[in-house]
């Protein structure tokens, strides 16, 4: 891992306001409306869906640091038949998959999925979940284009 290099340098040198944006959206998503572990599971699933090693490694590390079990972390990729998730976590994982997966025959988030989510989450919780998906989506292009180095702490994850 020592010879891994990012494609681009740290964007903070060009856009110092990114730190403020990242802090603000993290504060918004960590408002206490839904558990941080749910946010982490959703963001891990997003990283898996888009094929981002950086996000997958980062979210896995954050979940481990929060005390999540290896079974739950590992099973995110196969959550539909894994026995480790609550109904609310399942609908959150289904929602992130719907948002990030094209549906050529209809809405990405069909009314039926929204209704199931709305039955488990109130409006603030649904907005929090939506912002958690937005947060990871904001940084997906950064990870896929710039390729920050997986496993390194923020601020030290760029080699240029």
Per-residue pLDDT of 55-111, as tens digits, reads: 999 999 999 999 999 999 999 999 999 999 999 999 999 999 999 999 888 899 999
For 52, the token pair is: 């981002």
Which range (44-58, 83-97, 112-126, 143-157) has the least confidence?
A: 143-157
Contacts of 108 (CB under 8 A, 6+ apart): 98, 99, 101, 102
- Pairwise CA distance, residues 135 & 10, whole Å: 18
Question: What pLDDT score does 106 carry?
Answer: 85
User: Is the predicted pLDDT of residue 2 greater than 70, yes or no?
Assistant: no
Q: Quick one: DSSP state of residue 148?
A: P
Percent of the residues in the chain that have a pLDDT greater than 70, as a whole number: 99
User: Is the predicted pLDDT of residue 1 greater than 70, yes or no?
Assistant: no
Half-sphere exposure at residue 41, Cβ-oriented, CA atoms within 13 angstroms:
30
The CA–CA distances, whole Å, from 154 to 1, 11, 26 equal 16, 11, 14
User: Is the predicted pLDDT of residue 155 greater than 90, yes or no?
Assistant: no
């Amino acid at each position: 891992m020592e010879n891994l290099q990012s494609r681009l340098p740290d964007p903070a040198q060009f856009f110092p306001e990114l730190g403020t944006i990242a802090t603000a959206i993290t504060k918004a998503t960590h408002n206490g409306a839904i558990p941080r572990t749910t946010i982490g599971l959703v963001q891990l699933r997003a990283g898996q869906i888009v094929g981002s090693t950086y996000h997958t490694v980062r979210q896995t590390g954050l979940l481990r640091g929060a005390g999540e079990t290896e079974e739950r972390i590992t099973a995110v990729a196969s959550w539909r038949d894994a026995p480790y998730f609550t109904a609310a976590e399942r609908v959150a994982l289904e929602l992130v998959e719907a948002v990030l997966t094209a549906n050529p025959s209809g809405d990405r988030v069909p009314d039926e999925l929204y209704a199931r989510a709305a039955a488990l989450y109130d409006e603030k919780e649904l907005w929090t979940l939506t912002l958690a998906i937005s947060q990871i989506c904001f940084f997906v292009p950064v990870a896929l284009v710039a390729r920050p180095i997986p496993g390194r702490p923020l601020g030290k994850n760029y080699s240029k």
